[in-house]
Amino acid sequence: MFEQNREPVQTVSKVGLEPTFMGKVMTFFALAVFASSIGAYVTVRYFLTYFITNPVLMYILFAAELVIIFTAHWWKQSAPLNKVLFFAFAAITGITIAPLLGVLVQTPEGLSIVIKALFTTGLMFTATAIFAWTTKYDLSGLRGFLFMGLIGMIITSVVGIFIPWGSTFEIVFTGLGVILFAAYTMYDIQQLKKYPEDAYIDAAMQLYLDIFNLFLYILRLLMALSNRD
């Protein structure tokens, strides 16, 4: 009788300790943000001059980012490779944004702009995530518009390499970028309800890309507004 009563208690205990899908997603998302922050800090602190004087290294890292993203459908279900590449991608993105942050914080208003961008990003990401998780509206219809918007932003960015634009266009462009990735955050947060249980790395990657790009466009928008004053 005693042994029969113990078995259900052990089963409930194991189930209670099993991490949930959302728990895994948010854990890996938070760790990715941390890895990105460490990559940016170490680069700014110790290797900033090296990367600025050797711009080819940045192109190599950008290429590595693209390779990881476009091969994700092959490795995202292959543990532990998916975890290694996920955190490598997060660290690389931190490194690639480090030269911009390093140069910016050396300007009179640079540190203030970075702090404002971080604070604004946190508020916007949280607000859009809460709305997306609690709203009764189905946001899946946004997928096509968001994808076309992303393609448009990429094409415009490439054109901007060869045909530089002024501060007014930069404000408009980065403002649209903020709106785009705020919308992507809402879409991706709501889609979490539809992910299979073993796709937590893929889900965390989507959220990380949302918050990273949101921060980048908010930072650029604040820089453009500051330069215009």
Give 229's pLDDT tier (boundaries 50, 70, 90): low
Backbone angles phi, psi at 155, to 5 degrees: -60, -45
- Nearest-CA neighbor of 117 among 7, 6, 220? 220
* Cβ contact 185:125 at 8 Å: yes
| pTM confidence score | 0.86
For 222, other C-beta atoms within 10 Å of its C-beta total: 19
Model pLDDT, residue 107: 86
Tell me: pLDDT of 141 over 80: yes
Contact 177, 222 (CB under 8 A): no
CA 22/CA 61 separation, integer angstroms: 30
Domain ranges (residues) in the chain: 2-228
Each residue of 57-106: pLDDT tens digit? 888 999 999 999 889 888 887 888 989 999 999 999 999 999 999 889 88
- Give the per-residue pLDDT at 17: 53
Per-residue pLDDT at 10: 42
- Better-predicted residue by pLDDT, 164 or 26: 26
- Both tokens assigned to 24: 């895994």
- How far is the C-alpha of 80 from the C-alpha of 67, rounded, in Å? 18
Work out the average pLDDT over 187-195.
92
State residue 3's pLDDT score: 44
**pLDDT at res. 8:** 45
User: Rounded to an integer, what distance in angstroms lies between the CA atom of residue 210 and that of residue 150?
Assistant: 12
Calculate the average pLDDT of the chain: 87
The pLDDT value recorded for residue 15 is 45
